Amino acid sequence: MAEIKYEVVQRIAVLSQRPRGWERQLNLISWNDGDPKYDIRDWSPDGTRMGKGISLSHDELAILKGILDDLEL
């Protein structure tokens, strides 16, 4: 299996924290030397392990923002 290379370009926000210290974070991440994407996923307390997540381009994030703005929360 090929190694996944990533660089956290910007830590934007912690969305939640689990009892064992794992955090769901919104970050800007470059995957395999590609253009940075907005990324939501769980990270271990020391930041060395990650869970499954979702990466969004700037355009996808803008569409999601519009949808969330229209919701009554």
- The domain of 57 spans 6-70
| Residue from 35, 43, 42 nearest 60 by CA | 35
The answer to whether residue 60 is domain-embedded is yes
Domain count, the chain: 1
In a domain, 1, yes or no: no
Tell me, what CATH number does 26's domain have? 2.30.31.70
What's the pLDDT at 29? 98
Tell me if 61 is assigned to some domain.
Answer: yes
Task: Please check whether residue 26 lies inside any domain of the structure.
Answer: yes
Tell me the pLDDT of the chain (73 aa) as tens digits: 778 899 999 999 999 999 999 999 999 999 999 999 999 999 999 999 999 999 999 999 999 999 999 999 8
- Token pair, residue 52, equals 């499954």
Contact present, 50 and 42 (Cβ < 8 Å): yes
Residue 25 forms part of a structural domain:
yes
